[in-house]
C-alpha cells in the first residue's frame, strides 16, 4: 500500500545533498560551515532512519507514492531489508563524518572532501531505499562516481590512481550489466516497481529473459563487491584518507550483497546462477582469508579481510541464505568501520603487549580433539535450539554454513587444548566456543524471523547444491586444520615460499595491472 509518510526516508539523502552544496560553496582549509553542515546532515539522516524504523514497526512493510512518471522517479520501499540498511549506512556515515571533521582539519581541500563524502552517503541511501529500478540504478551509478572522487583525493599518489583506474573499469562494466538487467526485468514484468517484480518472481513467473537478468545482476554484484579476480583495487585504496577506507569497507562495498538480497526472489529463478555465486564467493573467501594472514600492515590486512568477508557473503547468497547475508552485512560493517577508524592505535596496542611466557602451540592431537569438541558443541547447541524453536525446519544450507563457521571455533579450542596451555586459557576457549555457537543459532533465528515476510526461504537443495555444500565444508575444514597446524611447519622452506606467494596475492593483481598498464584516469580537481 502506497502511503505518503513512507517518504520519510528521503529526508536522509536530501539533507546530505544540501550539505554537499554547502561544502562546495564554502571552500577553504579552515571553513567551519562545511563540516558543521555535514555533521548536522548526518544526524538528520540518522534520525530519519530511526523514524523509518518506527513507521515500519507501526505500519508494516510498504512503499511510498512515486514522485515521477512512467515508473521513473523517486519512491521508497520500506521493509526489513531497507530499514536495516538505512540504519546501518546512516549510523556509519555519521561516525565517519565526525571522524573526518578532525582527521582532515587543515587540509587544503577539506571542504571538497566533505562534499564528496556527503554526496556518496546520499547516493548509498537512495540506493538502499529504492522502490523502483530507475532509482536503484541511478543510486548505484552515483555511488560509484562519488566514491571515485574520494579515492582520488590525493591524485598525485600512484597507488591511488592505479586503484581508481581499475575500480572505474569494473564500475562501468557493473553499471552496464545492471542497466541491461533493469531493462530486461521491466520488459518481462511490465513494471519498474521492485516489490511487484519480486512478487511476480515468487509466484514462479519467469522466462529465459528473467533468468538472463539474474546473470547480469550477479555480475554487477560480483564487480561491486570486489570478488576474485577483480579484488585488487580494494586492497590498494589505502592511499585514500582513512575515512574513505572506513566508508568503503563498511558501507559501499556491501552494495553487491544488497543487490542480491533485494532481488532474492528473482535470483531463485536461476539455480545455476546461484551455484556460480556460491563457487566464486567460497573461493574468494578462502583466498582472501589466506592472503590476509600474510600481510604485515594493519590496514592492508583489514582490506584483505574485507575481500574474504565479501566472498563469504556471496557464498551465503549463492546458497539462498539471504537473511543470513543481510545479518552478515550489518555485523561486518560495524566491525570493519571500527577497525579502520581505530587502526592508527592498533600498532601501539600490539607493541605494548608483553608475552608472559612460551606460546602454546597445539599439536596434531590437540587439533583433532578441538575439531571433535567443536562439532560436539555445534550439535549440542543446535539440538537445544531445535527443542526451543523447531530447529528441524532449518534448511540444510544453514546447517552447512554453521558447520563452516564452527571451524573457527575449532581453531580457538585448539589453542586452549595445547600441552603448554594454562587451565585458564582452556576454560576461556571452551566458554567462548559455546558462546560463539549459541550466538550463531540465536542470531540466525532472529534474522530469519525478522525477514520472514520479505526474503524467501532457500530452495530445497538438489544434487548440485549438495555437492557445493560438501565441497565448501571440506575446503574450509582443510584450511582451518592447516592454519591450526601452521606453527608446526612454519619453518619448512616450502612454507616460507608459500607465504611469499600468498603475501603477493598469488600475483593476480600484478597481472591485471600489467594488462591495464596503458589505461589511465584524469586527476581529480
Each residue of 275-297: pLDDT tens digit? 999 999 999 998 988 888 888 77
DSSP state of 63: E
Q: Say what the pLDDT of residue 490 is.
A: 65
Helix axes 493-503, 271-292, angle to 10 degrees: 120
Handedness of CA 253, 256, 261, 262 (dihedral sign): positive
Q: What is the pLDDT of residues 444-486, one digit of tens each?
A: 888 888 888 888 888 888 888 889 888 888 888 888 887 777 7
- What's the whole-number mean pLDDT along residues 336-349? 68
* pLDDT for residue 163 is more than 90: no
Q: Grid coordinates representing 404?
A: 563452516
Percent of the residues in the chain that have a pLDDT greater than 70, as a whole number? 89
pLDDT value at 508 more than 60: yes
Say how many C-beta atoms besides its own lie within 10 A of residue 427's C-beta: 11
Q: Which residues pair with 201 in a beta bridge?
A: none
SS (H, E, C) 283-340: HHHHHHHHHHCCCCCHHHHHHHHHHHHHHHHHHHHHCCCHHHHHHHHHHHHHHHHHHH
φ/ψ of residue 67, rounded to 5: -95, 90
pLDDT of residue 517: 67
Q: Which residue has the cell 607465504?
A: 499
Name, in order, each residue with C-beta under 8 angstroms of 367's C-beta and a sequence gap of 6 or more: 410, 414, 481, 484, 485
Of the ranges 85-89, 127-131, 147-151, 257-261, which one carries the lowest mean pLDDT score?
A: 147-151
Residue 2 above 70 pLDDT? no
User: What integer pLDDT is reported at residue 389 of this predicted model?
Assistant: 57
What pLDDT shows up at residue 132?
Answer: 93
Predicted local distance difference test score (pLDDT) of residue 449:
85
Pairing of strands 67-69, 72-74: antiparallel
- Residue 524 pLDDT > 60, yes or no? no
Mean of per-residue pLDDT scores for the chain: 82
Q: How far apart are CA 441 and CA 90, in angstroms?
A: 28
Q: How far apart are CA 114 and CA 16, in angstroms?
A: 10
- The pLDDT, as a whole number, for residue 46 is 93
503: pLDDT strictly greater than 90: no
293 and 261 in contact (C-beta within 8 Å)?
A: no
How far apart are the C-alpha atoms of 115 and 150, rounded to whole Å?
10
| Contacts of residue 162, Cβ cutoff 8 Å, sequence gap at least 6 | 236, 513
Angle at alpha carbon of residue 237, lines to 232 and 242, rounded to 5°: 150
Note whether 318 and 260 are within 8 A (CB): no
**Count of H helices and E strands in the chain?**
21, 4
Q: What is the pLDDT of residue 220?
A: 95
Q: Tell me what pLDDT residue 207 has.
A: 82
> Omega before 112 cis (within 30°)?
no
Q: What is the pLDDT of residue 212?
A: 93
Ranges of H-type helices in 190-207:
194-202
Give the C-alpha separation, 44 to 47, whole Å.
5
> How far is the first Cα of the chain from the last one, in angstroms, to the nearest whole number?
45
Q: What is the pLDDT of residues 62-77, one digit of tens each?
A: 888 888 888 888 988 9
Listed by start position, the domains of the chain span 1-131, 155-341, 359-488
Report the C-alpha gap between 522 and 514 in whole angstroms. Answer: 19
Tell whether the model's pLDDT for residue 354 goes beyond 50. no
Nearest to 443 by CA among 325, 339, 310: 325
Nearest to 166 by CA among 512, 425, 525: 512
Report percent pLDDT > 90 for the chain. Answer: 27
User: Can you give the pLDDT at residue 173?
Assistant: 93
Q: Is the pLDDT of residue 150 over 80?
A: yes
pLDDT of residue 4: 76
CB 451 within 8 A of CB 322: yes
> How far does CA 439 lie from the centroid of its chain?
20
Quote the pLDDT of residue 525: 46
- Distance set, CA 263 to CA 141, 182, 272, 320, 363 (Å): 18, 11, 16, 11, 46
User: What would the mean pLDDT of 93-109 be, rounded to a whole number?
Assistant: 81
Q: Are 138 and 155 in contact (CB under 8 A)?
A: no
Mean predicted confidence (pLDDT) in 498-516: 78
For the segment 410-428, the average pLDDT, to the nearest whole number, is: 72
Amino acid at each position: 500500500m502506497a502511503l505518503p509518510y513512507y517518504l520519510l526516508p528521503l529526508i536522509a539523502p536530501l539533507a546530505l545533498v544540501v550539505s554537499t552544496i554547502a561544502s562546495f560553496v564554502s571552500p577553504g582549509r579552515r571553513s567551519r560551515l562545511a563540516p558543521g553542515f555535514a555533521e548536522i546532515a548526518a544526524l538528520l539522516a540518522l534520525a530519519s532512519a530511526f523514524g523509518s524504523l518506527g513507521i515500519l514497526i507501526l505500519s508494516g512493510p510498504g512503499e511510498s507514492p512515486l514522485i515521477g512518471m512512467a515508473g521513473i522517479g523517486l519512491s521508497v520501499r520500506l521493509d526489513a531489508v531497507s530499514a536495516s540498511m538505512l540504519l546501518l549506512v546512516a549510523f556509519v556515515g555519521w561516525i565517519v563524518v565526525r571522524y573526518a571533521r578532525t582527521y582532515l582539519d587543515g587540509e587544503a581541500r577539506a571542504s571538497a572532501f566533505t562534499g564528496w563524502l556527503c554526496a556518496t552517503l546520499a547516493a548509498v541511501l537512495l540506493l538502499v531505499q529504492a522502490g523502483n529500478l530507475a532509482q536503484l540504478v541511478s543510486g548505484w551509478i552515483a555511488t560509484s562516481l562519488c566514491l571515485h572522487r574520494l579515492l582520488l583525493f590525493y591524485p598525485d599518489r600512484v597507488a591511488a590512481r592505479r586503484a581508481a583506474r581499475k575500480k572505474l573499469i569494473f564500475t562501468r562494466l557493473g553499471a552496464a550489466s545492471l542497466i541491461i538487467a533493469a531493462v530486461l526485468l521491466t520488459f518481462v514484468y511490465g513494471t519498474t516497481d521492485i516489490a511487484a517484480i519480486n512478487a511476480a518472481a515468487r509466484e514462479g513467473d519467469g522466462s529465459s529473459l528473467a533468468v538472463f537478468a539474474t546473470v547480469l545482476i550477479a555480475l554487477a554484484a560480483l564487480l561491486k563487491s570486489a570478488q576474485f579476480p577483480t579484488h585488487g583495487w580494494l586492497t590498494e585504496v589505502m592511499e585514500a584518507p582513512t575515512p574513505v577506507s572506513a566508508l568503503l569497507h563498511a558501507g559501499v562495498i556491501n552494495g553487491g550483497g544488497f543487490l542480491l538480497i533485494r532481488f532474492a526472489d528473482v535470483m531463485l529463478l536461476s539455480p545455476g546462477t546461484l551455484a556460480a555465486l556460491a563457487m566464486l564467493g567460497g573461493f574468494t573467501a578462502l583466498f582472501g582469508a589466506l592472503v590476509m594472514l600474510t600481510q604485515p600492515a594493519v590496514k592492508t590486512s583489514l582490506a584483505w579481510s574485507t575481500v574474504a568477508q565479501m566472498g563469504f557473503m556471496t557464498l551465503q547468497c549463492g546458497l539462498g541464505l539471504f537473511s543470513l547475508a543481510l545479518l552478515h552485512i550489518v555485523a561486518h560493517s560495524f566491525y570493519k568501520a571500527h577497525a579502520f577508524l581505530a587502526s592508527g592505535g592498533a600498532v601501539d596496542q600490539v607493541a605494548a603487549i608483553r608475552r608472559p611466557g612460551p606460546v602454546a602451540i597445539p599439536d596434531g592431537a590437540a587439533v583433532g580433539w578441538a575439531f571433535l569438541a567443536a562439532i560436539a558443541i555445534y550439535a549440542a547447541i543446535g539440538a537445544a535450539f531445535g527443542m526451543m524453536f523447531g530447529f528441524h525446519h532449518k534448511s540444510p544450507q544453514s546447517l552447512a554454513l554453521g558447520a563452516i563457521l564452527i571451524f573457527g571455533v575449532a581453531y580457538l579450542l585448539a589453542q586452549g587444548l595445547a600441552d603448554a596451555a594454562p587451565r585458564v586459557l582452556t576454560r576461556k576457549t571452551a566458554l567462548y566456543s559455546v558462546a560463539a555457537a549459541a550466538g550463531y543459532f540465536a542470531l540466525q533465528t532472529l534474522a530469519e524471523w525478522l525477514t520472514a515476510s520479505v526474503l524467501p526461504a532457500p530452495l530445497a537443495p538438489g544434487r548440485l547444491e549438495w555437492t557445493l555444500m560438501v565441497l565448501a565444508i571440506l575446503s574450509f575444514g582443510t584450511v582451518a586444520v592447516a592454519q591450526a597446524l601452521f606453527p608446526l611447519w612454519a619453518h619448512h622452506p616450502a612454507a616460507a615460499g608459500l607465504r611469499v606467494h600468498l603475501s603477493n596475492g598469488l600475483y593476480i593483481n600484478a597481472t591485471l595491472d600489467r594488462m591495464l598498464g596503458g589505461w589511465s584516469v584524469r586527476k581529480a580537481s
